[in-house]
Chains A and B, each alone.
Chain A
Amino acid sequence: MSESITLLAMFHDIEPASEGVEKLQQFGLDDDDMNVISGIPIKHSILGRPAAITYVSRIGLFGAILGMFLGIFFIYGIPYLYPLLVGGQPIFPIPQGFIITFEMTMLGLMGFSFIGMFVDSGFPSYTPKQYTPEISDGKVALLFSCPAGEQEKFVDALKEAGAESVAPVEARHL
């Protein structure tokens, strides 16, 4: 099996970057072997790429359920353990139960969505990465791996698509 090399192609705009993606796909490069890095979110259909999978909403939903049960415990479990009669009110009231249950459900939903974003993105991560600061200045980068022997073919194709530069990239500390 031939050795592969990681290249970073820089584009000044989204349009040529999507052309670049198409070129790589034409060369038979798998979608998992390339990644578009940009300073703004770009819809996958604009780039002609499959949608990225995210588990954030599922993790958030799990958190919401967890929060709901915690809220139910607070409102019904605690009075069960330590009954406190106030003004003739019932120990296990239903209307009041909605309030704490709602707050804890929402806290669980948002807290776990936040954590989910960290977990799913692998944050925080301070290891060296393939990146260039020009990306946050508006350039669109196409990071991909190709067989080392065919590097020239890929470089020429991407330059034809409008890449400003295509060069091997090494991981560095951000």
Chain B
Amino acid sequence: MTTAAKPLARRHAEEHEDLRQFIMHDPLPRGKMNAMAMESMHATSPIFWVVTAVLAAIVVFALGYEWYILIMKGQGTAGVTRPDYWGVFLVNTVFWIGISHAGTFISAILRVLKIESRRPFTRAAELMTTFGLVQAGLSIFMHLGRVWLVYWMFPIPNERQIWPDFHSPLMWDLMAITTYLLCSTMYLFLPLIPDLAMARDRTQGGWLKPFYKILALGFRGTEGEWKNLVTAMNIFAFAIIPVMFSVHTIVSWDFAMASRPGWSSTVFGPYFVIGALHSGMAAVAIVLFLLRSTMKYYDYFIRAEQFNTIGTLMLLVSMAWAYFYFNDYLVPWYGGDVWDKLVQEYTEKGSLAYLWYTMLIVNIAVPWATLWNKKWRETPWLLAIVGLLINVGMYLERYIIIPVGVTINRMPFTWRQYEPRIEIPMTIGTFALFLLLYMIASRIIPLIPVWEVQEGQEAHLIRKIGKAEISTLSEME
């Protein structure tokens, strides 16, 4: 007679998981980690310079020459005309703001929730926010046309006696994006200070020595300096989360406040926020894959556990996005408003219906089919491909909302299918500039927050309980 009520499960391979595979349980001396972080910045192959030169050439052509053409010849060189006054430039704006969201959000929310696997990649994510917002800002200026008149939006005394209307969603947008850009940049800089001080200490000469010296601000690591820094970082981590939510909600209101079929939706705010996170998380996966593949020693800092964390978040966000999308889809479908019906029919059965189906497949089916599996989540190249597909899907989603959405309006005689023209090279230019800025930054500032990694390693211990080794975390802060 057996003593067990049920047959025992066979031992699973995961039960013998070696805790030392996690970076927090695989510490190296701080000096060694510093050396690795510094060497990874300086170990530059010729391919790096070739790629940099190509990206720089694209930026000069697309954002220099083409923008010059756009300014000199006017918005007629773009595909925007009645009724599609909002085209790809605004698609890019929304897309890049979305990309920028995950960086700070991941860093802040994981810091607040004390998710330890965040430590090696928070800066890589935060950097995406700053550079993503740069592209978003440029895209607004492209859409603006006469960019030199942007100061009309500032509340400064002027001879025209015209002041900006702060009741307008577009002014809310300006204020929110400016707030987010400034706060994200400050939030990027704060935890960078100790690493800049480390870089200052390890740099002997050249232009980088004064560069690090100035930016390190004279930081030594005294008790008072750490206290002030950690306090400020905690304030930012908590405060920047609602700001992040507000920014994309306000971006959604640019559309939802208009009484236009397909746009006037009360669910647009949270739907846009979750959409931003969807594309942003996916972009973090791509960035982590690229960093790990191209930067020396990054296979030590960025491991399967980091990809697992991002992959899990991507899956959760994908489910949330599907939920909100279904809400946004079902209510107008059921409501029976003729104009809403027409927008939905055009989206699903019109000449651009393939965009809609592609969007649903890559935003929902692909992540759900792949990211449920831990092994797949921990496979960097696979996660990067899923991330890339999600970003294609999220770009299409914005394209469907904006130019495809404005095609169907309450004046059928104006209906016209939008076709981007000069927008295409300029869009490529924003992607090239984003990559270029990131590549340059990877050679100047330590992308790994070494002090945060060491802090985590100091706090983690392996404790043996019974036959098992358990990871324990001490409260160090």
Residue positions of A touching B, CB distance < 8 A: 14, 35-44, 46-47, 49, 51-54, 56-57, 60, 74-75, 78-79, 81-82, 84, 86, 89, 93, 96, 99-100, 102-104, 106-107, 109-111, 113-114, 116-118, 120-127, 129, 131, 133, 135-138, 143, 174
Task: Please name the residue on chain B nearest to A132 by beta carbon.
Answer: B201
| B435 on interface, CB distance cutoff 8 Å | no
In the complex, which of the residues A53, A102, A133 contacts B201, with contact meaning CB atoms closer than 8 Å? A133
Question: In angstroms, how far is the closest chain B Cβ from the Cβ of A69?
Answer: 14
Could you say which residues of chain A place their CB within 8 Å of the CB of B168? Answer: 86
Task: Please name the residue on chain A nearest to B175 by beta carbon.
Answer: A103
| B291 on interface, CB distance cutoff 8 Å | no
Mark B22-50 against chain A: 1 for CB-CB distance below 8 A, else 0: 00000001110010000000000000000
Task: Please name the residue on chain B nearest to A141 by beta carbon.
Answer: B221
Could you say which residues of chain B place their CB within 8 Å of the CB of A89? Answer: 167
Task: Please name the residue on chain B nearest to A57 by beta carbon.
Answer: B231
A selection of 17 A-B contacts at a CB cut-off of 8 Å is: A36-B222, A36-B223, A39-B30, A39-B194, A53-B227, A75-B166, A78-B166, A99-B175, A103-B243, A106-B239, A114-B236, A117-B229, A135-B221, A136-B194, A138-B29, A143-B222, A174-B220
Task: Please name the residue on chain A nearest to B219 by beta carbon.
Answer: A123
Could you say which residues of chain A place their CB within 8 Å of the CB of B226? Answer: 38, 41-42, 52
Which chain B residues in 240-261 approach chain A with CB under 8 Å? 240, 242-243, 246, 250
Could you say which residues of chain B place their CB within 8 Å of the CB of A78? Answer: 155, 163-164, 166
Task: Please name the residue on chain B nearest to A34 by beta carbon.
Answer: B223
Could you say which residues of chain A place their CB within 8 Å of the CB of B179? Answer: 103-104, 106-107
On whether the beta carbons of B232 and A116 are closer than 8 Å, the reply is: yes
| B341 on interface, CB distance cutoff 8 Å | no
On whether the beta carbons of B231 and A56 are closer than 8 Å, the reply is: yes
A-B contact sample (6 more), CB < 8 A, given A110-B239, A117-B231, A121-B228 = A39-B30, A75-B167, A99-B176, A100-B175, A110-B235, A123-B219
On whether the beta carbons of B186 and A114 are closer than 8 Å, the reply is: yes
| B162 on interface, CB distance cutoff 8 Å | yes
| B200 on interface, CB distance cutoff 8 Å | yes
On whether the beta carbons of A113 and B218 are closer than 8 Å, the reply is: no
| B183 on interface, CB distance cutoff 8 Å | yes
Question: In angstroms, how far is the closest chain B Cβ from the Cβ of A27?
Answer: 19
Task: Please name the residue on chain B nearest to A67 by beta carbon.
Answer: B179
In the complex, which of the residues A54, A75, A124 contacts B227, with contact meaning CB atoms closer than 8 Å? A54
Can you list the 9 inter-chain pairs with the closest CB atoms, starting with the nearest? A138-B30, A133-B201, A125-B218, A137-B31, A41-B226, A52-B227, A123-B217, A124-B217, A117-B232
Task: Please name the residue on chain A nearest to B225 by beta carbon.
Answer: A121
Give bound CA distance, A126 to B239, whole Å: 31
Residue positions of B touching A, CB distance < 8 A: 29-31, 34, 155, 161-168, 171-172, 175-176, 178-179, 182-183, 186-187, 190, 194, 197-198, 200-202, 213-214, 216-232, 235-236, 239-240, 242-243, 246, 250, 451, 454-455, 458, 475-477
Could you say which residues of chain B place their CB within 8 Å of the CB of A82? Answer: 161-163
Could you say which residues of chain A place their CB within 8 Å of the CB of B231? Answer: 54, 56-57, 113, 117
In the complex, which of the residues B31, B172, B219 contacts A138, with contact meaning CB atoms closer than 8 Å? B31
On whether the beta carbons of A121 and B224 are closer than 8 Å, the reply is: yes
Give bound CA distance, A98 to B232, whole Å: 25
Question: In angstroms, how far is the closest chain A Cβ from the Cβ of B300?
Answer: 16
Most buried by B among A37, A41, A127: A41
On whether the beta carbons of A117 and B223 are closer than 8 Å, the reply is: no
Give bound CA distance, A103 to B174, whole Å: 10
On whether the beta carbons of A81 and B183 are closer than 8 Å, the reply is: no
On whether the beta carbons of B451 and A39 are closer than 8 Å, the reply is: yes
On whether the beta carbons of B224 and A52 are closer than 8 Å, the reply is: yes
Give bound CA distance, A125 to B232, whole Å: 19
In the complex, which of the residues B167, B182, B225 contacts A96, with contact meaning CB atoms closer than 8 Å? B167
Task: Please name the residue on chain A nearest to B235 by beta carbon.
Answer: A113
Give bound CA distance, A115 to B262, whole Å: 44
Could you say which residues of chain A place their CB within 8 Å of the CB of B455? Answer: 40-41
Give bound CA distance, A89 to B167, whole Å: 9
Question: In angstroms, how far is the closest chain A Cβ from the Cβ of B469?
Answer: 23
Could you say which residues of chain A place their CB within 8 Å of the CB of B454? Answer: 39-40, 138
Task: Please name the residue on chain A nearest to B226 by beta carbon.
Answer: A41
Question: In angstroms, how far is the closest chain B Cβ from the Cβ of A155?
Answer: 22
